[in-house]
Amino acid sequence: MSEFAEVNQPERNSLGFMYLARRACGKVSASCWDDAMSKKDTAKCVAGYIKRGDSVERVERFEGDPQPEWICRPGCNDCAGSKP
């Protein structure tokens, strides 16, 4: 049955990869695209996320994907005491 479901699913178009910076609460605080033409800028962004204590993940994004849950407001420190 799963084979049938896989055959009938529409093909998803990849938009590329992006880095998501997550706070200890799990919400996204920042993101940037993994762009081959901007490797130095991307590395600088990711290093900044890590320096401020966010965890960083690289994910592939597809057309129609839901947006990740972002922090409630800029400067939110509600999860400052929690650990990832």
pLDDT on residue 84: 47
The parent domain of residue 47 ranges over 16-62
For 59, phi then psi, to 5°, come to: -130, 150
pTM summary value: 0.72
Closest C-alpha among 31, 27, 42, 38 to residue 73: 27
- The answer to whether residue 21 sits within a structural domain is yes
Count structural domains, the chain: 1
Residue-wise pLDDT for 6-23, tens only, equals 556 668 899 999 999 998
CB-CB neighbours of 5 under 10 Å = 8
List the pLDDT tens digit at each of the 84 positions of the chain: 445 555 566 688 999 999 999 988 888 989 999 988 999 999 999 999 999 899 999 999 999 999 888 876 666 776 665 544
Does 8 map to a domain? no
- Say if 29 falls within a structural domain: yes
